[in-house]
Structures are given as C-alpha cells and as structure tokens.
C-alpha cells in the first residue's frame, strides 16, 4: 500500500509534468514551494521538471534561476542536459548574455558541450539576428571537435538568409557537403546535359519526367560520378532538409528535384514531416500540381496525413522556426538524444500557417 507521503509526492510530480503542456511557470514554482513548505523531499527530477516548464515559456528566466538555486542549495548536481535546459530558458527570455555565461560555466566545470549545447546557443543568436556571433560559435564548435548536425546547418542557413548574407550561407552549404558543393556541380552538369543531349527527349523541369529518367541521367559519365560522390557523403534527412531550405530560397528546381530523389534512397534519407512541408510550400509558390500530387502520394504511402489547404502563402521561414522549436523542446524533455541528428517530425499539420493548393 502506498503511504500518504509517497502519494502526495506522486501527485505533485504528475502536476509538474502536466504543467509542461500548459506552460505555467508560476504554477510550477508554487508547487515546488508547497512541497518545500510541507517538508517533502524535492528531488532533482522535480526541480528539473519545473525548470523545463520555464524553458518553453517567454520571460520565465527569473523563475528558472530561482528554482535552479533552490536545487543547488539542496546539493543536487546538474547534468549537461540540465544546463542546456536552463540555457534554453535564457534564450526564450532573450537573455543571450546569460546564455553565453552559462555556456562558459559548462566548459569551466569540465563538461564537454555537445551538438545540442551549441545548437541551443545558436538558436538564441538566430532569435536576436546575431549572425556574426553565430559564425564565431560555429567555428568554436568545429575547433572543439563537435560535429555539426542538420539542425546546426538549418539554424545558420536560416539566420544568414534572414540577415541577407547569402554569401556566408553558401559557405555553410559547402561545409554541409564536406567542403564542396556537390549539388551545384550536379545541377550545372544537368543544365549542360539538357542543352547538349536531352532537350529533344526529356523535359528535366517536369518532375515526373526527371524522376523517371533519373537512372538514365545518372547512369554514366560525370553525372554518375558526381551522384556517387554526393550519395557517399551519407547525409541523413536533417542535412537534406537544410539543403532543401537553401535551394527553395534559391528557386533551383533541378536541385530540389535531385534532392527529392535522394530522399527515396533509404530509411535514413526518407522524407519526414519537415521535408514534406517544405516541398508543399514550394509547390504552392510554383503552382506545381504535378509535383504536389507526386509528393502527396508518397507522403500518404509513408503514413503521413495532411489536410493541406492554401499552401502557397506560407513563409518558408516559419517552417524552419517551428521545426527548431519542436526539436529543442524534445531535447529539454529528454525525448531527443545526442545522436538523433534532429530526425524528428512535427506531429500536427494544423500547426502550419494556412497557405494555396496548386491547381
């Protein structure tokens, strides 16, 4: 039989879990204070559950710090993930200076920042438009032997495009591909091949014709070698999504069709929710009903369900922003791992702003 003490603690703990969904940091603080007043043991997990509530709210950094100091005063030792959660509290409150100081504290305590630590800080720079500082931290990240993931690249590309520094974003795109822009080289060769040999036989701008002719196009010569080099980078879907984001901004149709074909290679490269949302956005802008129908068919075959209406008016930047919010939230709740490379999907298509189905 559960005694009264354990039952009360269980109830309080469950309340803290629920508050994460309802976003009430003040209530989380009151629950912790009530537990302390009743002389109940407040565990490390209880404090962090309360701080996680703050990490998904704006301007809750002061409450988070109060909870953090209570936790330290009771002898609990924060983990690296705990520091990342607190850093996200600072960033959601636009306290970038505090986030940077916490980053230095992590290093001073001998903890090695992970890609998630750096991504959290980079996400803060994206919120404030601090593109120069973001590039500096990106260099520190590489010097620290921390390998960037697809989310790192998405943050940097989106930030640099937003701040109108496409030249620097292009450098990031090359870094993502191991220092050489293989996709640009493939597109250049496709254009040359189209003019030289294929104009009479296939319309490369037609999505179905391009995909149906893929094996023939890339079956020999320089295109075969270029495709081999790119596919053997073994980029996962989060990296491919970053490239989609870049080439949609560049309005490079051949690059988008080529990358879409790459998503069909294996489970690790298979399109996820963000991929489809980016492609639906592109189809809406270009009013490309043929490509839209093809993408929708494949999405349904993968088990995705969309109620897609008015796709064309959505700002592609909103997609990247929403993706990053969900991925960082998954990290702070412990649902993500340090090796998942951001390969999560958004759960509800209704969260996407309304945009026009191509006709």
* pLDDT tens, residue by residue, 296-331: 999 999 998 886 654 544 455 555 555 555 455 545
Length of the chain: 359
Closest by alpha carbon to 196, among 217, 226, 173? 217
**CA distance to 212, 215, 241, 302, 312, per residue, from 192 (Å):** 19, 17, 26, 35, 31
* The predicted structure's pLDDT at residue 56: 87
Which residues of the chain fall short of a pLDDT of 70? Answer: 1-7, 20-22, 194-202, 307-359
* The predicted structure's pLDDT at residue 192: 82
Give the whole-angstrom CA distance, residue 322 versus residue 303: 21
* The predicted structure's pLDDT at residue 308: 60
* The predicted structure's pLDDT at residue 213: 86
Give the whole-angstrom CA distance, residue 74 versus residue 52: 19
* The predicted structure's pLDDT at residue 141: 96
Residues 245-268: tens digit of each pLDDT: 999 999 999 999 999 999 998 888
* The predicted structure's pLDDT at residue 82: 96
């Amino acid at each position: 039989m559960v005694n009264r003490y354990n039952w009360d603690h269980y109830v309080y703990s469950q309340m803290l879990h629920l508050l994460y969904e309802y976003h009430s940091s003040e209530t989380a603080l009151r629950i912790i204070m009530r537990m302390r007043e009743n002389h109940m043991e407040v565990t490390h997990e209880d404090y962090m559950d309360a701080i996680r509530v703050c990490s998904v709210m704006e301007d809750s950094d002061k409450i988070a710090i109060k909870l953090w100091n209570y936790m330290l005063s009771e002898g609990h030792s924060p983990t690296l993930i705990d520091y990342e959660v607190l850093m996200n509290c600072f960033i959601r409150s636009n306290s970038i200076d505090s986030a940077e100081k916490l980053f230095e504290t992590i290093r001073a305590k001998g903890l090695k920042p992970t890609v998630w630590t750096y991504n959290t800080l980079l996400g803060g720079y994206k919120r404030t438009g601090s593109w120069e500082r973001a590039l500096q931290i990106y260099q520190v990240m590489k010097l620290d032997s921390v390998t960037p993931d697809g989310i790192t690249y998405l943050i940097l590309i989106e930030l640099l495009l937003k701040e109108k520094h496409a030249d620097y974003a292009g450098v990031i795109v090359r870094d993502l591909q191991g220092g050489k822009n293989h996709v640009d080289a493939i597109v250049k060769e496709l254009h040359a091949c189209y003019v030289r040999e294929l104009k009479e036989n296939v319309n490369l701008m037609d999505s179905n014709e391009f995909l149906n002719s893929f094996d023939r196009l890339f079956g020999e010569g320089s295109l075969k070698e270029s495709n081999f080099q790119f596919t053997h980078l073994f980029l996962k879907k989060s990296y491919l999504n970053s490239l989609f984001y870049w080439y949609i901004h560049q309005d490079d149709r051949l690059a988008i069709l080529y990358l879409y074909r790459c998503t069909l290679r294996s489970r690790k490269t298979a399109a996820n929710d963000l991929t489809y949302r980016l492609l639906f956005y592109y189809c809406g802008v270009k009013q490309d009903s043929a490509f839209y129908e093809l993408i929708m068919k494949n999405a349904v075959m993968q088990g995705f369900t969309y109620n897609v209406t008015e796709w064309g008016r959505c700002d592609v930047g909103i997609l990247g922003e929403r993706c990053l919010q969900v991925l960082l939230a998954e990290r702070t709740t412990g649902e993500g791992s340090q090796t998942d490379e951001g390969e999560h999907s958004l759960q509800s298509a209704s969260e996407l702003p309304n945009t026009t189905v191509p006709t």
